[in-house]
């Protein structure tokens, strides 16, 4: 069974969602993340001999879109290109 992250996104904890959006190119999930997702959603994904689960192309597209659409993280500031006093 594939992970199908998109359909279970709302069941994931904020910390798990953050990890996934900060690592949108991760094709194979580490076993610790695989286990956390299983605990939070009940998904039992096919895994390799190291208990790592592969993400489907659809999950990868979904996570990349989430990562690109995420608001700026705290501490990041957006600056205007103009300096004060410039017209």
Residue range 31-86, pLDDT digits in tens = 899 889 989 998 877 776 667 788 889 999 999 999 988 544 444 444 444 445 55
Q: Cα(70)–Cα(76) distance, rounded to whole angstroms?
A: 12
> Which pLDDT belongs to residue 45?
73
Question: Tokens 């501490």 belong to which residue?
Answer: 75
CA dihedral 62, 35, 48, 24 (to 10 degrees): 30
> Which pLDDT belongs to residue 44?
78
């Amino acid at each position: 069974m594939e992970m199908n992250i998109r359909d279970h996104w709302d069941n994931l904890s904020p910390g798990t969602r953050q990890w996934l959006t900060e690592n949108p190119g991760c094709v194979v999930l580490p076993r610790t993340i695989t286990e956390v997702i299983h605990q939070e959603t009940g998904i039992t994904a096919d895994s390799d001999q190291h208990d790592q689960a592969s993400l489907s192309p659809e999950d990868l597209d979904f996570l990349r879109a989430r990562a690109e659409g995420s608001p700026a993280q705290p501490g990041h500031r957006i600056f205007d290109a103009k300096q004060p006093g410039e017209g």
